[in-house]
Structure 1
Amino acid sequence: MSGEESGSGTATERSVVVRQADGDDLTAVVEVGHRTWPVTYGPIAGDDYVAMGLAKWWTQEATIPAIRAGRVLVAEVDGEIVGMASVGPSEGHLILWKLYVLPSHQRDGLGARLLRAVIDKAQEDGYDELRLSYLAGNDGAGAFYEHFGFRETERESGGSGIPDSVWMARPLRTDEQEERQS
């Protein structure tokens, strides 16, 4: 999640849709990354980190497999994709790898809608926990995730002047769900 700016009008005043991405969304999904990463990570980790991340994680080639696997959600406002979230399995856990909203649409509740949709789908798919990481120094992201029940579990050294990755987790099963499964 990147820096905070207000958009023009709230998302509730406009037509908002959160849905699974398809192949037609590829360019717009990649564009969300290219428009959010410089303002998010430039001040925290520097321009070289931004350039590396865009080249590694925000290309069409890197994004196609996640879209094809049904692991990318998009947020549309009036038909324009302005946010995205991407999840994937890793070592038996579900990881929220990306959640970004264009700066002009932040504080409109779109990040919350995307995150709720990710949580709901993870619960439907039977996951017990959702994990994620953000770069230390991205205090807005940390506060956002804490608001949704995520708690820090560990810090991973970024090395070479890169801020640490702060790992967080959120349980997905309620006591009631666990009792029903017993």
Structure 2
Amino acid sequence: MSGEPDVVVRRADGDDLVAVVDIGRRTWPVTFGPIAGEDYVAMGLAKWWTQEATIPAIRQGRVSVAELGGEVVGMSSVGMNDHKLWMWKLYVLPEHQGAGVGGALMRAAVHKAAADGYDELWLSYLKGNDQAAAFYRHHGFTEVEEEHGGSGLPDSIVARRPITPEDATA
């Protein structure tokens, strides 16, 4: 990929399980602690960042990893909900953020969505996560709605990006 010769994005396999879970365990506290608090972080780690929760997505081919110098430093995961393709996760280890890893993961996800015939990609992020908002805007996402968390959960922003025929060749 131009501009990031060292970033390799590939489909995750069983050998990546520990690295994928580690990415979540290392990124969630620094990303969401200041926005949503320690209880939210603990809940998310227990629910979404365990080996048991991650194995099905890897087996179904829905997880990609990004490597720098042979080390897994980022991951993304997609899946269907309400007949829409959603990006459920996109995380890069804090010490590798800003190096093009997230962009490489996003471009790979958009390219695969286009190749698979999808016409849009959806995601959500926590309200107040200004870094995520700027990243997603940069990659063509527009805000669709705000969802109120309720029951002590933080509010989130739902965004979508149209997939174009050019995305299949990019």
Fold-level similarity (TM above 0.5)? yes
Q: Match for residue 21 of structure 1?
A: 12
TM-score of the superposition, structure 1-length normalised?
0.87
Pick from 62, 67, 79 the counterpart of residue 53 of structure 2.
62
Q: What are structure 1's unaligned runs of at least 5 residues?
A: 1-10, 178-182
Which residue is equivalent to 2:79? 88
Q: Does 1:152 align with 2:150?
A: no
The aligned counterpart of 1:135 is: 126
- How much does 1:159 deviate? 1.7
The answer to which structure, 1 or 2, has the higher relative contact order (CA under 8 A, 6+ apart) is 1
Aligned pairs (5 A) from 1:3-82: 12=4, 15-82=6-73
SS in 2 for 1:107: coil
TM (norm. structure 2) is 0.93
Q: Which runs of 4+ in 1 moved over 2 A?
A: 160-163
What SS class does the counterpart of residue 86 from structure 2 fall into? Answer: strand
What secondary structure does 1:70 align onto? coil
- Give the superposed CA RMSD: 1.6
Q: How many residues align?
A: 165
Partner of 1:122: 113
Q: 1:83·1:99 contact (CA, 8 Å) conserved in 2?
A: yes
Which structure has the bigger radius of gyration?
Answer: 1
Letter in structure 1 aligned against 2:22: E
CA distance in 2, matches of 1:99, 1:155: 20
The answer (yes or no) to whether the contact 1:137–1:163 under 8 Å persists in 2 is no
Could you list the runs of 5+ residues in structure 2 that have no partner in the other structure? Answer: none
Deviation at 1:173, TM superposition (A): 2.5
